């Protein structure tokens, strides 16, 4: 297997050129009401309006179109609970190549339906990371497909960094960026763009307390994957990648944890104030700004709304969590 080089800002720029014409340049919005709620001046990068409804299309698209013709013909494979699988399936369909997605038990139904609708071949497996990787390896052996890891693949990281590239190009005066933290693909890509374009900026990583391996890892300086995720943020249940951890530590990122009730309250607030429907994993970033207000008051803050693939049937139950949290 070929080892890909560590990504840098040059790779983010190359990714931006490669995915132009495939991915959307998503809008940025502001909200005076949410500025008043947080005491900050917020700019929201609307990646929930990206193709497949999440930033993941950027990295998947960059990975697929980076392949040489012989490798592309054998297809791609990944494991995913939803958004990355849908993104890779759509990118592969755009290039006309096969896509295999290993899907764990318990994945959101709406996301599984999207993966299938984009033409991927689904391979069910148990929910553990070990089970996902084992099935991926078997598919690779059977088909010769190229593995496109959801967050540690350097091509994926570079592609995800194009969201922050667009945000910081449009708003170079931002003093802080807040992004969700799961495996760290978006976070690491954001760090690469931020260090090049806005070295004065501070990077904050929003993580659910029910899957806080990032917070523990940053506290000790050593990756800590000894946990069983317990959070409604299905897109943030993966473990922080080693390459991602290294990039984020170099960037001086800080992890902020929020609980599920704070996440759903932020999700509800985003809908109420901006009429933007984002998924729980995405709402962690706004939740972190609300929960850690003193860090952001008086500052210009960029928030990446990472995705909007919500199970609409589950919305009443989700919003009930937020109501229960109210005094």
C-alpha 30/C-alpha 116 separation (Å) is 34
CB 267 within 8 A of CB 288: no
> Region 106-129: what's the mean pLDDT?
86
Report the Cα 257 to chain-centroid distance in Å: 16
Residue 15: pLDDT over 70: yes
> Region 262-290: what's the mean pLDDT?
97
pLDDT for res 46? 98
pLDDT for res 310? 87
How much of the chain, in percent, has pLDDT values that exceed 90? 82
Give the DSSP letter of residue 298.
Answer: T
Q: Which residue has the tokens 């990714």?
A: 15
In angstroms, what CA-CA distances link 271 with 53, 178, 319? 16, 19, 11
Cβ-proximal residues to 130 (8 Å cutoff; 6+ apart), any chain: none
> Region 26-37: what's the mean pLDDT?
98
C-alpha 24/C-alpha 57 separation (Å) is 9
Nearest to 123 by CA among 57, 69, 183, 76: 76
Read off the pLDDT band of 226 (50, 70, 90): confident
Domains of the chain (ranges; CATH) run 9-55+153-325 (3.40.50.1100), 57-147 (3.40.50.1100)
C-alpha 174/C-alpha 202 separation (Å) is 9
Q: Are strands 254-258 and 76-79 parallel, antiparallel or unpaired?
A: unpaired
pLDDT for res 244? 98
Residue 236: pLDDT over 80: yes
Packed helices 185-197 and 154-170: angle between N→C axes, nearest 10 degrees: 50
Summary mean pLDDT of the chain: 94
pLDDT for res 104? 86
C-alpha 203/C-alpha 302 separation (Å) is 10
C-alpha 7/C-alpha 298 separation (Å) is 33
Q: Which residue has the tokens 């109501």?
A: 323
> Region 90-110: what's the mean pLDDT?
91
pLDDT for res 2? 64
Cβ-proximal residues to 150 (8 Å cutoff; 6+ apart), any chain: 56, 78, 79, 80, 84, 156, 183, 185, 238
- Please tell me whether the overall predicted TM-score, pTM, comes out greater than 0.85 for this model: yes
pLDDT for res 21? 93
CB 278 within 8 A of CB 267: yes
């Amino acid at each position: 297997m070929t080892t890909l080089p560590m990504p840098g800002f040059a790779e983010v720029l190359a990714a931006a050129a490669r995915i132009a014409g495939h991915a959307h340049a998503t809008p940025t919005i502001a909200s005076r009401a949410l500025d008043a709620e947080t005491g900050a001046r917020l700019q929201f990068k609307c990646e929930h309006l990206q193709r497949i409804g999440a930033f993941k299309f950027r990295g998947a698209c960059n990975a697929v179109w980076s392949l040489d013709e012989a490798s592309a013909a054998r297809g791609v494979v990944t494991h995913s609970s939803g958004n990355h699988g849908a993104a890779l399936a759509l990118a592969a369909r755009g290039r006309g190549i096969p896509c295999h997605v290993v899907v764990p038990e318990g994945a959101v139904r709406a996301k599984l339906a999207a993966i299938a609708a984009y033409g991927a071949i689904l391979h069910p497996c148990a929910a553990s990371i070990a089970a996902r990787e084992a099935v991926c390896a078997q598919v690779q052996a059977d088909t010769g497909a190229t593995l496109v890891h959801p967050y540690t693949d350097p091509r994926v990281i570079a592609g995800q960094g194009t969201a922050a590239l667009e945000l910081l190009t449009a708003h170079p005066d931002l003093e802080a960026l807040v992004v969700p933290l799961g495996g760290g693909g978006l976070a690491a890509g954001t760090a690469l763009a931020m260090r090049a374009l806005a070295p004065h900026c501070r990077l904050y990583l929003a993580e659910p307390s029910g899957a806080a391996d990032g917070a523990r890892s940053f506290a000790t300086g050593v990756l800590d994957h000894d946990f069983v995720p317990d959070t409604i943020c299905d897109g943030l249940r993966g473990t922080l990648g080693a390459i991602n951890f290294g990039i984020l530590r170099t960037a001086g990122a800080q992890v902020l944890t929020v609980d599920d009730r704070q996440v759903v309250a932020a999700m509800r607030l985003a809908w109420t104030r901006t009429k933007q429907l984002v998924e729980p994993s995405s709402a962690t970033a706004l939740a972190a700004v609300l929960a850690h207000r003193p860090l952001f008051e008086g500052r210009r803050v960029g928030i990446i709304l990472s995705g909007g693939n919500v199970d609409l049937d589950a919305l009443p139950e989700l919003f009930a969590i937020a109501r229960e949290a109210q005094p």
